[in-house]
Amino acid sequence: MVPMKPAPFAQPGSASAISDRDFARISEFIYKSAGIALTANKKTLVAGRLFRRLEVVGAGTYGEYLDHVENGPADGEMQTAIDLLTTNETYFWREARHFELAERLAREAAAARRPFSIWSAACSTGEEVYTLAMVLENIRAGGTPLDWNVTGSDISVRVLRSAQRGLYPMDRSTQLPQALLKKFCRKGTGPQAGYLLVDKALRDKVRFAQINLVESLPETPTYDMIFLRNVMIYFDAPTKTAAVTRLLTRLKPGGTFCVGLAETLNGIVTGLKGNGPGAYLKAAP
Taking a C-beta distance cutoff of 8 angstroms, is the pair 19, 62 a contact? Answer: yes
Q: Where are the strands (E) in 130-278, listed by range?
A: 148-154, 167-169, 185-187, 195-198, 207-210, 223-228, 251-259, 272-274
* Residue of 81, 56, 72 lying closest to 4 (CA atoms): 56
Q: How many CA atoms lie within 13 A of 178 on its CB side?
A: 0
**What whole-number distance in Å separates Cα of residue 126 and Cα of residue 122?**
9
- 25, 49, 186, 246: the catalytic one is 49
Active site residue 236: no
Determine contact, residues 114/76, Cβ cutoff 8 Å.
Answer: no
In the set 22, 83, 154, 224, the catalytic residue is: 154
Cβ atoms of residues 94 and 132 within 8 Å: no
Query: Would you state the torsion angle of the CA atoms of residues 166, 101, 179, 231, taken in this order, to the nearest 10 degrees?
Result: 30
- Is 49 noted as a catalytic residue in this protein? yes
Residues acting as catalytic residues:
49, 154
